[in-house]
Structure 1
Amino acid sequence: MVYDYLAAIGYQDPLRVQREAANSDLSCMIRFYSECPVNADQQERTLLTGVFSVRKGKTQLHKWAERQVLLCGTCLIVASVKDSLTGKMHILPLVGGKVEEVKRRQHCLMFSSAGPQAQTYFVNFDTVADYQRWHRQASKVVSQTISLVDLSCYSLEAVPEYLFYSQDLTHLNLRHNFMSLQGPGGLLNLPRFSQLKSLNLSHNRLGVFPESVCEILTLTELNLSCNGMNSVPAQIGNLQSLQTLSLDGNQLSFLPEELGGLAQLSSLGLSFNNFPHIPGVLDRLSGMDRLAMAGNRVETLELGILARMSHLKNIDLRLNGLRWVKSEALEAVKQVIQLDLRDNHLATLDLSSICSLETLHCQRNQLRALTLSGFTLRTLHASSNRLTTVNIYPVPNQLTQMDLSRNLLEYLPDWVCDSRKVEVLDVTHNFLSELPARLLSSLSLRKLLAGNNRLQRLPDLLDHVPLEVLDLQHNKLGELPESLFYKALNLKYLNVSANALEIIPPSSQSEESLSTLQELYLTGNKLNENCAALLVGHQNLRVLHMAYNQLLSFPASKLSKLELLEELNLSGNKLKTIPSTVSSCKRLHTLIAHSNHISVFPEILNLPEIKLVDLSCNELTEILLPDSLTATLHELDLTGNSSLLLEHKTLNLFSHITTLKLDQKPAMTTGDSLGSSTLWNHGYSEMSGQRNKLCVSVLAVDRFGDSVEAAYGVFDGDRNEEVPRLLQCTMGDVLSEELLHSSVDSVYMSNTFLTSHRKLGMAGQKLGASALLCYIHHEPSELGSYFSLTVANVGSCQAVLCRDGQPLPLSKVFSLEQSTEEMDRVKLSKAIITEDNKVSGVTCCSRLLGCSYLSPWVLPKPWVRTEPLCSQDDFLILGNRALFERVSYQEAVCTVQAVRDPRAAAKKLCTLAQSYGCRDNVGAVVVSLHIGEDSCTCETPHANTGTEPRGPPPTPLPVTAPPGDLATPSSSSGIASEFNSETSASEVGSEAGSTASDEHPSTGPTARPERRCSLHPAATLCAPVGHGSAGVGGPHQVLFQRQPSCATFSSNQSDNGLDSDDEAPLEGVISNGSKLEVEVDIHCCAFQIRSGPAASPKDHNLDKTRSDYPNGKMRRQNSVVVSATNGCLLAVCGREISDLKKSPSTSSLFGKKLSNGSVVAPEDSHNLIEVAVEAPKKKSGYFTAPAQQDPEDQLVVPPSLEQDVREQLRGQSPMVPGPPPPFTPPSIRDPVWDHPHPPAPMMPQRDLAPNPVPALQQEVYDTAL
């Protein structure tokens, strides 16, 4: 069962399934019980029992006596004896009664029943805990108006035996249990409740219809949903009092004829079953007025069948795959008033024969034509279709609400203006070029939504209108009607964002304004500061968005008059300051003014209700603070102000702020991070909107792991903040761990999501989140290839790649409304999809991390896609559902293209979403990509001046040199170095502290620089040089490489007698309190050696285990392979380098540390690049304390055991013992290593050509501590 469960949620590898099944935290998702699954806490919720002192009646005639007392269901049960519940039982009904504290006696309660002949019992408890527990539970019972017992979600297998004493029980809820048919408390005993009216047995996995239920003749409501039943017994006809029957989520395909005899049945639920058509037996149910058949297999609806159901008024046929609605002759359907046909496959719909229709839902079909009767029509919902027109006859004079959004309408039908009672009209996302003048002058219209159309102008208002909400965003409006504000005096909400407005109309014709406008959104227009002055008449304004306009300033005198202002957004303008009169807005709680040129911090920190201040991406230099800050401020964003310096006093004042965002000081740039920073950089933004908490979290790591990789993610918890924060903290680590187990993108990404789902623990049982994870990586073994982007997601978060200026969606939205496959899967698993398209009324997503209690309907298995990156890829956008609901892919791409800074672009995306009406949390990540041919530093043998097509970088080639090459001297010998053309001086000089000269050598042969590739980190490139090449002065060739290390460097010039703890500090040593940084020169020296012909790379791959060759040598140390065979340097595999860096024992494998912390012998230190480790923590300064080694850095071996340890290590060495290698000349001898392993033995070299040619040998030893 465990294996089936793990396979169902997404695990595929049997070995991985076996390993996951042993995890202890798996119990948060699935549990097993060897006995009855009832614990003490659950029993306490259903039954309280104990032996207490009891007295009956209010008089003193009865004495106190020890008795067994129970509180179960709706009754207090008192036994006749002390030790057991035998004999006569005294039952006291508590519903409608009283429970009171007896003050004359400690820990005593008085229980009284309802009615004129009420009985009373006094119970004296031993402890205060018992007293409080009984008082709390009894108070719930007596407060009920009906005799109801709720035992849902208790994991019960049977009804508690003492519950049967509650003979007044009328409503029993046993939903989400494991009820059995047999046993003392099984379903066969339910008829013992003689007054039971309502019984809920849904989600019990019964498998069959319990026939014993048909014996409870008093039932009026029965719910048997989600029990896997295949049939309904004929005994259902016994329930003549039944009024509501719910059989949703089963496997039913037919109904018994006896069901037609239930004359009082008014509501029948058959949703999410297997019915191919409406059952004929329903014709006989004369009292039924509501039929729910959503999620079945009905493809054709015969209106004649509805006509024969004389009492049927409400029909739900959602999610049925309906293709045709047929009408027999001209027979009218007179009784149906509400019809739901959402999410079907209808192309045309003619319901003109339903003359009494009041409400129609037909969203998300494929309708091109819609014809209705307008006699009684009140509400029409027809969004997300392909309608070009809607025919309603006669004119629907009762119509009050109409939604025609997301269609293909080019004009509004005339009958829309003729309708007298239309209050709400939604025509967004159509192709309307104009609105009728009569529409805006309607005396009934209160809410008009006409955004995302092609409107260029609005007609003038002829008279005063009751319009309250007007949304005209994303049109082509150049101006608004002059009389808009003083003719629409009731207007409270106006959104004209994303238009071409250059001016706004005045608020009134005189100095006195009667405007009631409260929310005004003007984002994305061409308004200047003169327009801001016209806002003074809207003195009731609470929300003002004027972002991304052309404001140079905001009139101070005008802002002071907006005293009721609560939210102000002035981002993306050219403001240099916020007027000091903003302090007059005492109700202001949100100020957003990022992406301006503000240099002076506004006077807002003393406002009494200020909560959020966003002044990021400005030019702030300092902040003048009051003596104390208001306690209401919980978010302050000051990122992107490069000149801002904050004192410690200022930071102390900000310590109470929950979310304080400041720029981090740039970390020391290393070789690896330098490569990644030039390939991509990111910016992100999170905004809470009008929610009280932020439920969106972002993961952004430009340098992920030990190589040139990156990871980005967005996690949206909808209404919970716990799960997104857990994912933000753990998902990166989980990905790193999974990358060690598999290199297949679909495997490690899927396992990352599934492992994160498991690690949510208890928080992931009832809470969940959408998750999106993007991983940029490069396979070092694939020379000449570019980076790849692997995207995985669940839920509604999305990733969009900009390629050639066009959006390329990379993720899949797991929403029931947008994914047909997921809808079919959820329907097949018999989940209940509510009318708002949510699984069990909880979430609209079919895949989430968390919400494990909704399995198998909601799964954590992600969608995974890998996209190779190329030079045409400009940037990547990550966002949650709220962002892409308001901002289209194309607009998002255009927005980022117009903003160079990724952080400012992410800010703008979130600001636009809020200005377009988003009230939820919104989050965005923008990753700027610089990947392409010009990012590759691989050099070909001959430069090609012609234009070449885009493609992979060239393959690195080996270098050969003529005989007689001299070793390259160090910089101290007088020959200067040459910088790599791809490595700037700042990369090494400022970060590594190098002192080498940047000049070219004045004499001697011209040096050819080695090209290092940031895209292809696995390749070590040596360019070929010919005898007659241009720029080569003679037969002697010098090769010099200036290479930045992947971390800070160790000194290769330090004296062995001095270290970092001696009194005299080393020259060039810089201490930052955490690492030791040393100025060094890095050389790749050329040696003159004897060598044979160059071996092919294939030879190296086929025989990597060789220890030595006659004319060359290879060392393998902790997965790092260095070969100088035949003068050709073997490329070090990037994977092995990564493994080396991750190994905690590398330093011990490479030898003993010297007194200066180095593992390198002093005579060979000029050949090596070392990684500086964390400086040992000393009680005093680095250069005053006596030298000592950190015990964590090295295992101390006593001298007496040193020889034994060496012998044991020698015995554990994988090298084959053999004779020592032959003597080699000093110029090519290996460095002397104090290494615990013996040198590798000589092995015969194979496949070598007999004629040796001269070659260049380069030795590189990468060491790590």
Structure 2
Amino acid sequence: MATSTAVVFMEFIFVRNIYRNYIEFQWESKLQVKSMQAVGKVNVTCLFISAFVKKVSSRQVDCETALTNLWVVLVKHLCLFLVLTAAVADLTQSYQCVVRLPCTCSGTAIDCSSKRITSLSVLIGHPNSTYRMRLDGNPGLVITDDTFANITLEYLDLNHNTGLSMSDHALRSQRDSLKELHLSNCRLREVPQALRDLNALEKLYMWSNHIDNWDETLMLKLSGTLNVLDVSYTGLTSWPRWLSHMSNLVYLNLYENHIDVIPHDAFYSAASAMNYLNIESCGISDMTTAIRSLQNLTTLVVGGKTLSDSSFFYNWLPTRGSKLVTLSINNSNITKIPYGINDSPSLKILTITGSRLRHVEEEAMPKSLMALSIVQASLTHIHGGVCNPALKFLRLAANRIQSIEKHDLQDCRALTYLNLNHNHIDYISPTAFDGLKELKTLRLENNGMIHIPTAINNMTSLRSLYLDGNPVECTCQTLWFLSWRQRNSGVFISGRCTLLGIDLADFHSHCAAIIVG
């Protein structure tokens, strides 16, 4: 009798565990209607088992009866399993995709991108669910007042939909839910009137459209909530007044417009909010004083062929209390490091791409700088003004550097990455890298080096060496390299021995075979 009671008790525990697991499942799915039906059946079964155990414990049935009842319990378990399976099927079915093929769904993410869709049937979303929807890459797409009437969206991507047609109230049902909207590269000539209905929009991307008509009333309506705005490549020909009233803007991209002049009070509303600004290739010939008011700016991108050395006055950057961390100057006509950069105590990353920069003066860089990139310029030597004790990343690719001398990098002792690709380097002093004890990556591709630089001998932290595109002549008399390879077997080496036609990584074994022979 005790054995039968124990078996029945174990069966009871089994049912209880099924009950607990099912409750956890239905809690995670947040769908309780179907689960409560199954839970009711579980409770009935548990009450039956409880009564049965009580009966056996009080010895009101004999062993034969107990075994018979045990089979009854097992049958009920099977029934319970079928009930739970049906409930799970109902739960899964209730999460079916809210749109038809060829679209796909993953949870609340709906993907209809590049499906050649020109129209959508009315979407019906689940109550209390908010969706993210991609409809990009569907030229000629038509969105009516009813398309989104029965679904709640927080994210909508309509990029690359040339010929997009959107009714004036297509987004009315998303009034308080839609937070991010992408309307880039749709060949729009005006801002869609459907945006008037949006009260919660935070991010708006409209790059690569040619907007002839910027509805000032509409844009001012959005200014109360908008904090990210990308209107690059939109054909702006002057500074829009509505932009000066956007007090919550954190991110503003104006790349490739034709603004020419930015007023001194352009950012007075967003002075304390903005931390990213891109005004590259806007036709500006003199840097605006408006930038000085952006004390919380962390990233600034400027550039364009209209910028020269005279475009930068001494205090064009935020100074006192500045939080500027990253500065990029791209595709300009500057020949020297602009004034004011060395007075930016928070600056950590400086990138200068596509310039006529010939040299870097001493004290031109702030002591805080940790990453410096001067690419596609006219540097012929690595000058003393390049290095500082904090610098960890240095990229001087695509210049005209011909050699690396003994003292060129002596003040770059903290470097972990050095990139000198696409120069004219044919000589490296044997002691040029002696101070670079922290350097892990050295890139010297596409230069004019005939010999493997002996300067790598004293680099104790090197992990990657790139010499591709150099006319390196490998000879078996280069014993120092064989010895170095043995001591540094964990270093990744990329490059080829041009005369032997083998990879540098195989140079060791090749020479070993000749020496033994």
Normalised by the length of structure 1, the TM-score is 0.30
Q: 2:375 matched to which residue of 1? A: 523
1:578–1:544 CA distance, 2 compared to 1 (3 A): farther
Partner SS for 1:494: strand
Q: 1:534 matched to which residue of 2? A: 385
Tell me whether 1:467 sits opposite 2:324 in the alignment.
Answer: yes
Tell me whether 1:223 sits opposite 2:97 in the alignment.
Answer: yes
Tell me whether 1:576 sits opposite 2:427 in the alignment.
Answer: yes
Of Structure 1 and Structure 2, the greater helix share is in 2
Partner SS for 2:385: helix
Q: Once the 2 structures are TM-superposed, how far is the Cα of residue 476 of structure 1 from its aligned partner?
A: 0.8
1:481–1:228 CA distance, 2 compared to 1 (3 A): closer
Q: 1:399 matched to which residue of 2? A: 249
Q: Once the 2 structures are TM-superposed, how far is the Cα of residue 402 of structure 1 from its aligned partner?
A: 0.9
**Matches of residues 1033-1072 of structure 1 in structure 2 within 5 Å?**
none
Distance 2:109 2:501 in 1: 68
Contact 2:175 2:197 in 1 (8 A): no
Tell me whether 1:278 sits opposite 2:136 in the alignment.
Answer: no
Query: Residue 439 of structure 2 is aligned with which of 567, 576, 588?
Result: 588
Letter in 2 for 1:613: Y
Q: 1:609 matched to which residue of 2? A: 462
Q: Once the 2 structures are TM-superposed, how far is the Cα of residue 313 of structure 1 from its aligned partner?
A: 2.7
Letter in 2 for 1:444: N
Distance 2:372 2:326 in 1: 11
Q: Once the 2 structures are TM-superposed, how far is the Cα of residue 314 of structure 1 from its aligned partner?
A: 4.2
Distance 1:275 1:312 in 2: 21
Partner SS for 2:229: strand
Q: 1:563 matched to which residue of 2? A: 413
**Matches of residues 955-970 of structure 1 in structure 2 within 5 Å?**
none
Q: 2:306 matched to which residue of 1? A: 454
Partner SS for 1:223: coil
Distance 1:400 1:271 in 2: 24
Contact 1:472 1:497 in 2 (8 A): yes
Distance 2:416 2:109 in 1: 51
Q: 2:176 matched to which residue of 1? A: 313
Distance 1:549 1:291 in 2: 44
Q: 2:187 matched to which residue of 1? A: 345
**Matches of residues 978-993 of structure 1 in structure 2 within 5 Å?**
none
Contact 1:289 1:312 in 2 (8 A): no
Distance 1:654 1:166 in 2: 80
Distance 2:110 2:374 in 1: 50
Q: 2:205 matched to which residue of 1? A: 361
Q: 2:50 matched to which residue of 1? A: none
Distance 2:182 2:340 in 1: 41
Partner SS for 2:357: coil
Pairwise CA RMSD: 4.9
Tell me whether 1:389 sits opposite 2:238 in the alignment.
Answer: yes
Query: Residue 506 of structure 1 is aligned with which of 351, 354, 362?
Result: 362
Contact 2:301 2:329 in 1 (8 A): yes
Query: Residue 652 of structure 1 is aligned with which of 490, 509, 516?
Result: 509
Identity of aligned residues (%): 14
Letter in 1 for 2:184: R
Q: 1:193 matched to which residue of 2? A: 87
Partner SS for 1:652: helix
Partner SS for 2:327: strand
Deviation per CA, 1:1135-1193, whole angstroms, max 9, x where unpaired?
xxxxxxxxxxxxxxxxxxxxxxxxxxxxxxxxxxxxxxxxxxxxxxxxxxxxxxxxxxx
Contact 1:266 1:288 in 2 (8 A): yes
Q: 2:493 matched to which residue of 1? A: 635
Distance 1:644 1:253 in 2: 59
Contact 2:353 2:373 in 1 (8 A): yes
1:497–1:643 CA distance, 2 compared to 1 (3 A): farther
Q: Once the 2 structures are TM-superposed, how far is the Cα of residue 302 of structure 1 from its aligned partner?
A: 0.8
Letter in 2 for 1:365: N
Distance 2:109 2:403 in 1: 66
1:349–1:632 CA distance, 2 compared to 1 (3 A): same
Letter in 1 for 2:247: N
Q: 1:492 matched to which residue of 2? A: 348
Query: Residue 397 of structure 2 is aligned with which of 539, 547, 562?
Result: 547
Q: 1:659 matched to which residue of 2? A: none
Query: Residue 299 of structure 1 is aligned with which of 152, 165, 180?
Result: 165
Contact 2:171 2:198 in 1 (8 A): no
Distance 2:395 2:278 in 1: 23
Deviation per CA, 1:905-928, whole angstroms, max 9, x where unpaired?
xxxxxxxxxxxxxxxxxxxxxxxx
1:523–1:289 CA distance, 2 compared to 1 (3 A): closer
Contact 1:342 1:365 in 2 (8 A): yes
Distance 2:334 2:143 in 1: 50
1:654–1:61 CA distance, 2 compared to 1 (3 A): farther
Letter in 1 for 2:235: R
Q: Once the 2 structures are TM-superposed, how far is the Cα of residue 645 of structure 1 from its aligned partner?
A: 11
Partner SS for 2:433: helix
Partner SS for 1:580: coil
1:390–1:601 CA distance, 2 compared to 1 (3 A): same
**Matches of residues 987-1006 of structure 1 in structure 2 within 5 Å?**
none
Query: Residue 335 of structure 2 is aligned with which of 475, 478, 484?
Result: 478
1:146–1:299 CA distance, 2 compared to 1 (3 A): same
Letter in 1 for 2:187: H
Contact 1:543 1:565 in 2 (8 A): yes
Contact 1:422 1:444 in 2 (8 A): yes
Contact 2:370 2:390 in 1 (8 A): yes
Q: Once the 2 structures are TM-superposed, how far is the Cα of residue 362 of structure 1 from its aligned partner?
A: 1.4
Tell me whether 1:93 sits opposite 2:17 in the alignment.
Answer: yes
Partner SS for 1:596: coil
Partner SS for 1:556: coil
Distance 1:166 1:577 in 2: 81
Q: Any unmatched runs of 5+ in structure 1?
A: 1-58, 66-77, 81-87, 98-112, 115-141, 149-163, 169-188, 202-212, 214-220, 230-242, 316-336, 656-1265
Q: Once the 2 structures are TM-superposed, how far is the Cα of residue 430 of structure 1 from its aligned partner?
A: 4.3
1:95–1:346 CA distance, 2 compared to 1 (3 A): farther
1:298–1:483 CA distance, 2 compared to 1 (3 A): closer
Q: Once the 2 structures are TM-superposed, how far is the Cα of residue 633 of structure 1 from its aligned partner?
A: 1.6
Distance 2:202 2:190 in 1: 19
1:390–1:620 CA distance, 2 compared to 1 (3 A): same
Contact 1:347 1:366 in 2 (8 A): yes
Q: Once the 2 structures are TM-superposed, how far is the Cα of residue 424 of structure 1 from its aligned partner?
A: 0.7
Letter in 1 for 2:204: L
Distance 2:496 2:98 in 1: 57
Q: Once the 2 structures are TM-superposed, how far is the Cα of residue 484 of structure 1 from its aligned partner?
A: 1.2
Partner SS for 2:188: coil
Distance 1:93 1:412 in 2: 68
Letter in 1 for 2:487: L
Distance 1:360 1:557 in 2: 50
Query: Residue 427 of structure 1 is aligned with which of 279, 283, 305?
Result: 279
Q: Once the 2 structures are TM-superposed, how far is the Cα of residue 500 of structure 1 from its aligned partner?
A: 0.8
1:301–1:515 CA distance, 2 compared to 1 (3 A): farther
Q: Once the 2 structures are TM-superposed, how far is the Cα of residue 617 of structure 1 from its aligned partner?
A: 2.3
Q: Any unmatched runs of 5+ in structure 2?
A: 30-37, 43-82, 513-517
Partner SS for 2:494: strand
Normalised by the length of structure 2, the TM-score is 0.66
Distance 1:299 1:645 in 2: 59
Contact 1:222 1:246 in 2 (8 A): no
Partner SS for 2:384: helix
Q: Once the 2 structures are TM-superposed, how far is the Cα of residue 519 of structure 1 from its aligned partner?
A: 1.7
Contact 1:524 1:548 in 2 (8 A): yes
Contact 1:621 1:644 in 2 (8 A): no
Deviation per CA, 1:527-565, whole angstroms, max 9, x where unpaired?
243x522233x2222221223434344342352432221
1:60–1:618 CA distance, 2 compared to 1 (3 A): farther
